[in-house]
């Protein structure tokens, strides 16, 4: 009886944790869509500035994706993978409806990596400032409002404090 209870408790915890992670990404994306609905031009300008992509290209991307939040994710995954957002958009287009986790895996982000966990948590920053990026630093800092989600690890000079699992030392 004790084993059954422990097993059920562990299962409940895993399902609850997964549901919370997915809700965080969904909440973040929903907030982005709300911002874009309120002022689409400002949203495009902020994407352009944050990701260093010319505004006409951002407007073109916004016209090709299913939702404004998808444009952010194409740009964000491009930054995370060091790939042009056009390449990310192609992967997005061919995997539409399968979810951002599938798209991230197709782009080479490994499940279990810090980047993949940041994706699942929706641990990103949309500040509209140059160099803002993902906040894959765990639970440091508060989530704040949707304009500055999570701790983006940016020290103000465009360089994060990265703890990802890139192709660096001791790999």
Nearest by Cα to 68 from 92, 110, 107, 40: 40
Q: What are the domain boundaries of the chain?
A: 36-148
The per-residue pLDDT for range 94-135, each reduced to its tens digit, is 998 899 999 999 999 999 999 999 999 988 989 888 876 654
The per-residue pLDDT for range 62-97, each reduced to its tens digit, is 999 999 999 999 999 999 999 999 999 999 999 988
Question: Rounded distance, CA 31 to CA 150, Å?
Answer: 13
Question: Rounded distance, CA 130 to CA 151, Å?
Answer: 15
On whether the pTM is more than 0.75, the answer is no
SS3 6: helix
Question: Rounded distance, CA 79 to CA 7, Å?
Answer: 40
């Amino acid at each position: 009886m004790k084993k059954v209870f422990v097993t059920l408790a562990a299962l409940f915890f895993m399902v609850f944790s997964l549901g919370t992670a997915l809700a965080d990404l969904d909440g973040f994306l929903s907030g982005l869509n709300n911002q874009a609905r309120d002022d689409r031009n400002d949203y495009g300008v902020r994407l352009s500035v944050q990701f260093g992509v010319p505004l006409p290209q951002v407007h073109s991307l916004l016209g090709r994706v299913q939702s404004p939040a998808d444009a952010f994710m194409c740009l964000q995954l491009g930054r995370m993978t060091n790939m042009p957002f056009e390449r990310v958009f192609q992967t997005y287009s061919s995997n539409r409806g399968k979810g951002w986790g599938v798209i991230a895996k197709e782009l080479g982000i490994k499940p279990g990596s810090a980047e993949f966990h940041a994706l699942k948590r929706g641990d990103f920053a949309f500040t509209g400032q140059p160099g803002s990026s993902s906040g894959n630093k765990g639970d440091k800092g508060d989530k704040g409002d949707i304009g500055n989600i999570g701790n983006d690890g940016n020290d103000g000079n465009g360089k994060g404090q990265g703890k990802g699992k890139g192709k660096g030392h001791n790999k």
